[in-house]
Amino acid sequence: MYSSSTSKMFFPRLVFSSIFIVCCLATSTFGATLAKDEVEALKSIGETLGKRNWDFGIDPCSRPSSWEEVVPPKSYYANNVTCDCTFSGNTTCHVISIELKGQNLTGTLPPELVRFPYLQKIDLTRNYLSGPIPPAWGSMQLTDISLLGNRLTGSIPKELANLSNLTSLVLEQNNFVGTLPPALWNLHNIERMLLNSNNFSGELPAEFARLTTLKEFRISDNNFTGKIPDFIFQNWTKLEQIFIEGSGLSGPIPDIGALENLEYMIISDLNGAEATFPQLGKLPKLERLMLRSCNLNGELPDNLSTVTTLKILDLSFNRLSGKIPTKLSALSNLDQLFLNGNMFTGEVPGWILNTKEKMDVSYNNFTSTGASGCEHNSVNLFASISRVNNSGIVSCLASNNCTKTLHFLYINCGGREENVNGTTYEADYYAAGPSTFFQSTNTWAFSNTGIFLGDDRPDDIYVSENMQLLMIDELYRTARLSPSSLTYYAFCLANRTYNISLHFAEIQIADGQNFSSLGRRIFDVYIQGKRVLKDFNIKDEAGGAAKPIVKNFTATVEDGTLEIHLRWAGKGTTSIPVRGVYGPLISAISIFDPGYIPPPENGGSNGISIGMVAGIVAGAAFAIFLLGGVLWWNGCLRQKNTLERDLKGIELQTNSFTLRQIKAATNNFDAANKIGEGGFGPVYKGILADGTVIAVKQLSARSKQGNREFVTEIGMISALQHPHLVKLYGCCIEGNQLLLIYEYLENNSLARALFGPEEFQLKLDWPTRRKICIGIARGLAYLHEESRLKVVHRDIKATNVLLDKNLNPKISDFGLAKLDEEDNTHISTRVAGTYGYMAPEYAMHGRLSDKADVYSFGIVALEIVSGRCNTKSRSKEESFYLLDWAHILKEKGNLLDLVDPRIGSECNIEEVMAMINVALLCTNLTAAARPSMSSVVSMLEGRAAISEFIDSSFSAKEMNAEAMKKLYLQLEQNDADNSQTKSMLADGPWTSSSTSAADLYPVNLTSGYWQNRDSTNYVQ
């Protein structure tokens, strides 16, 4: 046994020895340095990524702050280059992990990563990176790739299938396209495949059945087709979490096998027919079962009660019927239950009414709720009783006596009472919760449903304040949010037709070149049960964050009630800028009866004598006579200018600007701000007082187009709203000054980007060109098939497609647009359009239908692929027609010769061929053989097979492809300074001196314009 003195001596020696050993180890480790070739590789990828604050004066593996930072757990930020320094006897280090999260890097993904032979993890989450995934990454030893929240494009390289050690592939919330490579089944160790919020299409490959190591699979917010494969719930036995919300897939949901590890099963918004509830196997760990809007019908199965681990059960917005099974009371761990929006009958079970948890059974067909109000404890009972024989106010509000009939209602959603321009907006700042009914007054209420998933907050927040440092009107400083469904219900209204204004401003997602700007909030809006907005994106519609936008509608009230319903359908991002940012958001609601005349404030007679009344009337008559004379003398009562009178006669749902505002915005129409000259007149760039950048189209006094096109254009655009149509901010009407005020599109027209002056052409890679083509097709599909007004544009061409800062296409120039009549085809006595783009049946016989636009689209699609204008001519004997060349190449089997060499080799051959074949299908000489634009969208996105092409005759069969190509190149050289598109009107001569009715940004401008241009370059 040691003595106490011996023990006292031994302890210090032990401590000293331990410190000495640690110091020696640390010295040997810290003496190691990163291999020189990897230091050079870091310099190279820093340039590629846009990472400029690495300090190369210090060895990257010595753990200085510029190379490795300590941050709190679960932080959205990371700045780490991690090394392994155990090589060559602890003298050499190699990079094994690079984490650069939340840094707003603006570069591209670096192929140079292959220079790190030991790299296992690359995490570039929440940046502003663009471009495709380098196929070269497939040759590495990566185990973890995370690229969430960037601007990445292109398809998933099939080479990634060679990453046999890969366990996690996170590509969420980008702009990836195409089908999933079947070869990915070769990822034998993959555990996480997260593909949410992209533009993937096609069916899930059958080969994925072999991905038996998968634990987490997310494919929400995509454009997939086909049914949910059975193998997901049969073969993937290790599955823990699955998210399929708004994916494009169809039901039915397959039967669920014995998935003993499954914790989250979240599926929503399926396409397809109705189906019964899926059979459930053994699910001992399932905590969240959410099958929202999955077209489920029939009764709930009794064995649902055996999943006793359930904490969240959401079966809302289906057509489930019958009584709620008593056995469900066995689900003792339930925290939230959502059965709203179904057809359940019988009585609301007592175990639901008496619960303390959050439950929602609103909007059902129960015969009795067992409660007197619309909410009991924490259970939402609003509209839960059938209204088949109970029109008018919902039964739970029947005790509310309408003391007066309302003709207007104003609500400041999520905010305090505000007085705006003399109108009082009622307060609506109640905090709400997952299953909430709230009645503000005796005239309106709201019902909120759902929980925000993945936001890591103990309590969800359903009211938001503007967090951006921007000035914004009072109404838009707050907003009410909902993760799933938000319904505003007004009652005691007079039975009239109302003007309804819904006020929005995106106050959670930012602007600018940062990851916070990449969020996409998308939801639907219904009024009186009719969907009035589909896939509505506030920021896109408003032209930026924290910018107010008002959507105007009309609705008829027949039973004293009005219902406005906002619903999330699984679309849009959910983790940008942070987790839990998604779902409906609304700032204010205005409901007004336009025919309402308020009664006098003092009611009846005010006691004025008859003599006084007579004197007042006589005096008023004389005053009116005198005022009329003065006004007539000054010309105010003479006949108005025809243009102004025509425009005033149209009921326009658009803003009105004063001439003073527009002069201030354009610096009095300064020539330096001129950005184009169309058939309508000049176009100017301007900046409004609030900083909004605009394009102003000014009606020229010498315009040949006259007022007919001006009136048509403002009438059309004010009624049409779509992300791929140019946005009309308003108009200005003062005397002979008639102006249209549009959103400013930073990248000018598609024509100038493709074949304008060389110094202004844009480098458009293949994914961008495909995105542009699909965007144009979606815009036309909206015009033809989805909008309230069915419209034939009549002048689709590259100059009438404008590109925003993100190169998203927007169709412009509605000066020649025509409403599509019911028979869908009619003879036009006034043929109008542009040479080279008009369908033959329209150009020669005046037969107009939406298939004329389809033909024009086909020409534009060929221009996008080839980078060449459809027509080039030097004389009648020397003309080049892109469509003819395409037919010749098709005959020879050389269609790929059509592809613009500027695209390079980094393009998807299948997608290129699909676009060319769709273009040829659209330009068929027979109108009936052309597809609808919705079919074109499906074919381009890979959701539908491309129909068999019916060959048509063309004018240049006698020419060989090489001769046509040489002719084009020769004409292109000779006409480099004169690429103006030719336009025509049937009642006027052919001309090359003007564009069509109103090209907003023509291809070419005079050299003097470019010399006088201000420092703000139009191409950014």
- State pLDDT tens for residues 279-301: 998 999 999 999 999 999 999 99
Max distance between CA atoms of the chain, in angstroms, equals 127
Q: What is the pLDDT of residue 836?
A: 80
> Distance (Å, rounded) from C-alpha 521 to C-alpha 220?
14
Residue 982 has a pLDDT of 34
pLDDT of residue 616: 47
| Residue 295 domain-assigned (yes or no) | no
In the chain, how many domains are there?
A: 4
List, edge to edge, every strand of the sheet that includes 177-178: 177-178, 199-202, 223-224
Verify that 183 and 45 share a domain, yes or no. Answer: yes
What residue numbers bound the domain in which 680 lies?
Answer: 651-743
Distance CA 201, CA 204 (A): 9
- pLDDT (tens digit per residue) in 765-801: 999 999 999 999 999 988 888 776 678 888 899 989 9
- Residue 889's SS3 state is helix
Determine, yes or no, domain membership for 305: no
* Dist. CA 612–CA 643, nearest whole Å: 45
Indicate whether 463 and 565 sit together in one domain: yes
Regions in the chain scoring below 50 on pLDDT? 1-29, 388-390, 469, 471, 604-614, 616-618, 622, 630-640, 646-652, 701-705, 821-829, 874-878, 950-965, 967-968, 971-972, 974-1020
Q: Do residues 155 and 520 lie in contact, with contact meaning Cβ atoms separated by under 8 Å?
A: no
Closest to 799 measured CA to CA, from 810, 791, 783, 808 = 810
Position 337 in a domain: no
The pLDDT of residue 719: 61
Beta strands at 33-34 and 92-101: parallel, antiparallel or unpaired: parallel
Instruction: Tell how far CA 877 is from the center of its chain.
Output: 47
Is 662 in the same domain as 733? yes
Q: Which of 576, 592, 608 is the last residue of a domain?
A: 592
**Structural domain includes residue 81:** yes
Beta-bridged to residue 319, according to DSSP, are: 297
Q: How far apart are CA 730 and CA 725, in angstroms?
A: 15
- DSSP letter (8 states) at residue 786: I
pLDDT for residue 457: 59
Q: Cβ(414)–Cβ(463) under 8 Å? A: yes
541 plus 662 within the same structural domain: no
Q: Which ranges in 683-791 belong to alpha helices (H)? A: 706-719, 750-755, 766-781
pLDDT digits 0-9 by tens, 86-105? 998 888 999 999 999 999 99
Q: 951 and 869 share a domain?
A: yes
Give the tokens for residue 878. Answer: 């020397």
Q: Looking at residue 60, what DSSP letter applies?
A: G
Domain CATH code at residue 867: 1.10.510.10
Looking at the structure, tell me whether residues 729 and 823 fall in a common domain. no
Domain-embedded: residue 288? no
| C-alpha span between 29 and 49 (Å, rounded) | 29
Q: Are residues 730 and 860 in the same domain?
A: no
Among 214, 231, 255, give the residue marking a domain's end: 214
Same domain flag for 666 and 738: yes
pLDDT of residue 813: 78
Whether 362 maps to a domain, the answer reads no
Pair type for strands 92-101 and 288-292: unpaired
Regarding whether 191 and 125 lie in a shared domain, the answer is: yes
**Looking at the DSSP assignment, which residues form a beta bridge with residue 193?**
169, 217
pTM of the model: 0.62
- Mode of pairing for the β-strands spanning 463-465 and 478-481: antiparallel
Residue 736 counted as domain residue: yes
Whether residue 123 lies inside any domain: the answer is: yes
On whether both 39 and 184 belong to a single domain, the answer is yes
- Is residue 194 domain-shared with residue 86, that is, in the same domain? yes
| 578 and 526 within one domain | yes
55 is catalytic: no
Query: Residue 112: which CATH number?
Result: 3.80.10.10
Identified catalytic residue from 221, 795, 820, 900: 795
CATH number of the domain bearing residue 737: 3.30.200.20
Domain termination site, one of 190, 214, 238: 214
